[in-house]
Amino acid sequence: MTDDFTLAESAAQFLLSQTPLRPKIGLVLGSGLGGFADELAGATRVPYAQIPAFSRSTIVGHAGQMVIGKAGDLPLAAMQGRVHLYEGYSAKEVAFPMRVLGRMGIRAVILTNAAGGINLEYKQGALVVLSDHINLQGHNPLVGPHDDRLGLRFPDMTQAYWKPYREIALEEARKLGMTVYESVYAAMLGPSFETPAEIRFLRTIGADLVGMSTVSEVIAARQMGLKVLAISCVTNMAAGILDQVLTHEEVLETGRRVMGQFVALLRAVLPRIAGDVGA
Ligand code: HPA
């Protein structure tokens, strides 16, 4: 079987052969947040199905394409949609796009997702910069034979979410007059939403948000030395907080509603991250 490094290298070379752009910043746009990539200029759009070894998303609201284009003068590689463990993909498959981005020369990734709000201060539609995570998915993309070319066997996760980027995001959000929080994301396997008892448990162990994505990507990205910024949109309050049923439609609807704010924040943050990675 071909190893992940070799597969990622060939997927990266394939993508770079489709565009003259050489982005240093990657973006993953979560549920209902994909619209940002529609606005990129001079874009090359490659459906995941055409990228060697890439997995395809099966979920409504995740378009499933890599968009390489420019925001202003800044070249970006933006993923519209991602795959999840709950679709039946392994953690390695979920993290594979980070391998590809890393091999393309990406130095910083901004991961976005939809999440349930556990912290009672949060309201639907709030944006939250992740400071840390708790991985309760029972999976890790680094399990299995180790390949030194991808990074360390035991990568440090003390600063999984790059502190200077978190500060940039909080600062720019405040300048834009947005209410923005910084807190801890608990990752669950899904696809069922949590029970109210699980949400009380997550609150007790120090989580403010809950979702079903992101951590496998962050682990792989950090192993490769990519700097990570992650921003959640609180698409709903978590189970048992409000007296209402949770639905995927609500998640998508809230994502769409706050897209404008999200895009404004990304636009403000990107040039400062570009300065850091020399993009
Ligand atoms: N739980 C888990 N994942 C989610 C939620 C939630 O309430 N909302 C959006 N993604």
Ligand 1 contact, 185 CB (< 6 A): no
What pLDDT does residue 192 have?
A: 97
Q: What is the CATH number of the domain that holds 163?
A: 3.40.50.1580
Indicate if 10 belongs to the active site.
no
Q: Which of 236, 241, 245, 256 has the most ligand 1 atoms within 8 A of CB, as the residue to mutate?
A: 236
pLDDT tens by residue, 194-241: 999 999 999 999 999 999 999 999 999 999 999 999 999 999 999 999
Which of 114, 173, 230, 238 is labelled catalytic?
Answer: 114
pLDDT tens by residue, 249-269: 888 888 888 888 989 999 999
Confidence of residue 279 (pLDDT cuts 50, 70, 90): confident
pLDDT tens by residue, 62-80: 558 999 999 999 999 999 9
Domain holding 78, by residue range, is: 4-277
Does the structure show a pLDDT above 70 at 88? yes
Confidence of residue 15 (pLDDT cuts 50, 70, 90): very high
What pLDDT does residue 215 have?
A: 98
> For the chain, how many structural domains are there in total?
1
Q: Which of 189, 251, 254 has the most ligand 1 atoms within 8 A of CB, as the residue to mutate?
A: 251
Which residue is it, tokens 């201060």? Answer: 121
Indicate if 212 belongs to the active site.
yes
- CA 211 to ligand 1: nearest atom: 3
